[in-house]
């Protein structure tokens, strides 16, 4: 226990962290380009916020939340997603009073008590964006476009955008009733979990993978034919926007999504190489959520993207990640008596912004050079011997093996010119 991270958590060690930093820097560039400002909400919130926003009957709320009472007796939950926090912050800081829409992004860990497997963790990282304050279909298209541009920057290809509209509360209610009537007639052929879905959330029967259920839902009424004129027009406009920017998508009428707050546009982006956990990004419009949380009626749209899965995908796809920066110089002490002088020179190099290192083991010249080689430093700087008495160091080019003495006071200039 003492030497094992809790189930579903893991350490990201320096080698992998470099890949994360690369991905994160692309996120920040992308958001800058599209005009999204960063929001850093707390990692935990009042439990009530998630109950209200995510929905009481969702899997997240029913079985996946890390909930506890703090020492002051407050009911607290580690955030399972960040849209709720973003909306809360929008209201808490009266952002609706400023220019609309408010476009924000977030980046960081989320927590869900779920059974871990490849691409699924109890602490996982999401990048998400939210555009609050407009129902313009170009906003929906922009949100999808941000995700696609981001994948493009990473060199990730072979993604599929699945798109659907689940309407507004008005037309969805009509559809829900029609679907319920239809499914009730075929009650006997539904699987056990779908039977329980019937009263709670019949739309979810649509994406059941059981063969029997699929046979029935194949002929079920379609949401898209029940959309009211406003929702229908909006959905068509979103599609036209996507087509106009050559963003490819497929319509998946079975796409429902597991959170209660979605309205109109919903989408998922899938990278098939990830197997069972192939959904790499999911999002949609949530025109009712802000009001539900006690604010003015305000439309909004956003997505959340699983970065652990993005990392898995670029690793599996072999997408290029820039090579880690290696030291320019590796300082070597010829004898133990030169160790302190080597350290002094090393410090001067670092103060001159030269990436550099040394061996800290007080070991043989041979071992130090081996370490220099392994650090993939461009030069080894050898300190000691007669050179030291002459105010010189030996600089060895680790690629060519060439070596020559240069005066200590010219070392920094030499290294700066050499890079």
Partner RNA sequence: GUGAAUGUAGCUCAGUUGGUUAGAGCACCAGAUUGUGGCUCUGGGGGUCGCGGGUUCGAAUCCCGUCAUUCACCCCA
Q: Which of residues 129-158 bind RNA (CB under 7 A)?
A: none
Q: At what angle do helices 14-34 and 137-154 cross, to 10 degrees?
A: 140
Q: How far is the CB of 126 from RNA (least distance, A)?
A: 5
> Nearer Cβ to RNA, position 218 or 276?
276
Q: What residues between 266 and 285 interact with RNA by CB under 7 A?
A: 268, 275-282
Q: Which of residues 95-124 bind RNA (CB under 7 A)?
A: 112, 114-121, 124
The residue among 97 and 386 lying less far from RNA, judged by its C-beta, is 386
- Write the DSSP assignment of 181-237 as a string of letters: HHHHHTGGGS-HHHHHHHHH-GGGGGG---HHHHHHHTTSPPHHHH--HHHHHHHHH
Query: CB-wise, 167 or 284, nearer to RNA?
Result: 284
Peptide bond into 42 cis (omega under 30): no
Using CB under 7 A as the binding rule, the residues of this chain from 369 to 388 that contact RNA are 369-374, 380, 382, 384-387
Rounded Cα–Cα distance for residues 109 and 194 (Å): 32
Q: Which is nearer to RNA, 194 or 354 (CB)?
A: 194
User: How many chain residues bind RNA (CB under 7 A)?
Assistant: 73
Stretch that binds RNA, among 216-224, 241-249, 398-406, 411-419 (CB under 7 A): 398-406
The string of DSSP letters for 136-186 reads -HHHHHHHHHHHHHHHHHHT----EEEEEE---HHHHHHHHHHHHHHHHHT
* Positions in 197-256 near RNA (CB under 7 A): 197, 204, 207-210, 256
Q: Is 337 in the site for RNA (CB under 7 A)?
A: no
Does 365 contact RNA by CB under 7 A?
Answer: yes
Beta strand 75-78 with 102-111 is: unpaired
Q: Which two tokens stand for residue 183?
A: 């499914």
CA dihedral angle for residue 326, residue 327, residue 330, residue 331, rounded to 10 degrees: -160
CB of 296 to RNA, least distance (A): 25
Q: Which is nearer to RNA, 228 or 365 (CB)?
A: 365
Please give the structure tokens belonging to residue 412.
Answer: 């920094």
- 211 versus 246: smaller Cβ distance to RNA: 211
Q: Which is nearer to RNA, 96 or 113 (CB)?
A: 113
- 398, 408, 411, 415: which one contacts RNA (CB under 7 A)? 398
6 binds RNA (CB under 7 A): yes
Please give the residues from 53 up to 92 whose contact with RNA meets the rule CB under 7 A: 58-60, 63, 81
- Helix axis angle, 411-418 to 339-351, nearest 10°: 60
- Which regions of 47-101 does DSSP assign to beta strands (E)? 66-69, 75-78
């Amino acid at each position: 226990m003492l030497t094992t991270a809790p189930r579903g958590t893991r350490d990201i060690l320096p080698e992998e962290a470099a890949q994360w930093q690369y991905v994160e820097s692309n996120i920040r560039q992308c958001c800058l380009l599209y005009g999204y400002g960063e929001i850093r909400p707390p990692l935990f919130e009042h439990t009530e916020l998630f109950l209200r926003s995510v929905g009481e009957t969702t899997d997240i709320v029913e079985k996946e939340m890390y909930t506890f009472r703090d020492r002051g007796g407050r009911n607290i939950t580690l955030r399972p997603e960040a849209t709720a926090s973003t909306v809360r912050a929008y209201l808490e800081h009266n952002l609706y009073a400023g220019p609309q829409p408010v476009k924000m992004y977030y980046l960081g860990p989320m927590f869900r008590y779920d059974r871990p497997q490849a691409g699924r963790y109890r602490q996982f990282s999401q990048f998400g964006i939210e555009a609050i304050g407009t129902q313009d279909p170009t906003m929906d298209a922009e949100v999808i476009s941000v995700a696609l541009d981001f994948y493009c920057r990473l060199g990730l290809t072979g993604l599929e955008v699945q798109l659907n509209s689940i309407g507004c509360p008005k037309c969805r209610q009509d559809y829900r009733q029609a679907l319920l009537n239809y499914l009730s007639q075929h009650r006997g052929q539904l699987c056990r979990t779908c039977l329980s879905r019937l009263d709670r959330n019949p739309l979810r029967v649509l994406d059941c993978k059981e063969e029997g259920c699929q046979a029935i839902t194949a002929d079920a009424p379609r949401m898209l034919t029940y959309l009211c004129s406003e929702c229908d027009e909006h959905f068509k406009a979103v599609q036209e926007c996507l087509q106009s920017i050559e963003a490819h998508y497929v319509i998946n009428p079975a796409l429902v999504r597991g959170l209660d707050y979605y309205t109109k546009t919903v989408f998922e982006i899938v990278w098939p190489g990830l197997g069972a956990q192939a959904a790499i990004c999911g999002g949609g419009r949530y025109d009712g959520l802000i009001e539900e949380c006690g604010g003015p009626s305000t439309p909004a749209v956003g997505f959340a993207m699983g970065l652990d899965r993005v990392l898995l995908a670029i690793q599996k796809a072999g997408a290029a990640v820039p090579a880690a920066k290696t030291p320019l110089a590796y300082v070597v002490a010829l004898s133990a008596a030169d160790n302190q002088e080597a350290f002094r020179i090393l410090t001067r190099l670092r103060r001159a912004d030269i990436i550099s290192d040394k061996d800290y083991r007080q070991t043989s010249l041979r071992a130090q050079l081996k370490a220099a080689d392994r650090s993939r430093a461009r030069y080894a700087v050898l300190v000691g011997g007669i050179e030291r008495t002459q105010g010189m160091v030996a600089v060895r080019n680790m690629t060519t093996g060439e070596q020559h003495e240069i005066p200590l006071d010219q070392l920094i200039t030499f290294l700066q010119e050499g890079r």
